[in-house]
């Protein structure tokens, strides 16, 4: 089976599709309308919970570890997320092989597209 294109839905990704993206550079299609709607609904729910209901969610609008009780202003939550990524962009040793990175990215994209992240 020669897979040349993969659709990310958060529900149907197979190991064969991951391998096709990783090893054969199969094309990952733009997200479909249903997947986008599910992700947008999740984002809207979270925004309402944080901005209107003043709910806190670990690592989204709180600090981490010993700073978990530190609540971050809702308007700064996006900056917190960016700072977490920037804090983790360093590494030791050789870069990972491209096919490993491609596999990791397609799996992560699939997880995010479930609408629960």
DSSP for 3-63, written as a single string: --EE---SS---HHHHHHHHHH-PEEPPPPHHHHHHHHHHHHHHHHHHHTS----TTTSB-
Band of pLDDT at residue 93, cut at 50, 70 and 90: confident
pLDDT of residue 4: 97
Classify the phi-psi angles of 14: left when phi > 0, otherwise alpha if psi is within -120 to 50, otherwise beta.
beta
Give the range with max mean pLDDT: 19-23, 41-45, 52-56, 77-81. Answer: 19-23
| Candidate CATH numbers 3.40.640.10, 1.10.275.10, 1.10.150.120, 1.10.287.3510; the one for domain 5-90+99-110 | 1.10.275.10
The pLDDT value given to residue 57: 92
Do 115 and 9 contact (CB within 8 A), yes or no? Answer: no
Nearest-angstrom CA–CA distance, 1 and 21: 13
Domain chopping of the chain, boundaries: 5-90+99-110
Residue 88: the pLDDT is 79
The catalytic residues are 58
CB atoms closer than 10 angstroms to residue 21: 24
Percent with pLDDT over 70 in the chain: 99
Give the model's pLDDT for residue 86. Answer: 87
| pLDDT tens digits along 48-80 | 999 889 899 998 899 989 999 999 998 888 898
């Amino acid at each position: 089976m020669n897979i040349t294109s993969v659709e990310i839905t958060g529900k149907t990704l197979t190991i064969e599709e991951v391998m096709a993206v990783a090893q054969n550079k199969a094309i990952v299609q733009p997200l479909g309308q249903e997947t986008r709607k599910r992700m947008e609904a999740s984002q809207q729910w979270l925004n309402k919970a944080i901005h209107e209901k003043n709910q806190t969610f670990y690592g989204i609008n709180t600090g981490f570890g010993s700073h978990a009780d530190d609540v971050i202003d809702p308007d700064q939550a996006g900056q917190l997320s960016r700072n977490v990524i920037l804090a983790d962009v360093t590494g030791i040793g050789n870069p990972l092989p491209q096919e490993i990175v491609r596999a990791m990215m397609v799996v992560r994209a699939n997880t995010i597209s479930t609408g629960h992240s």
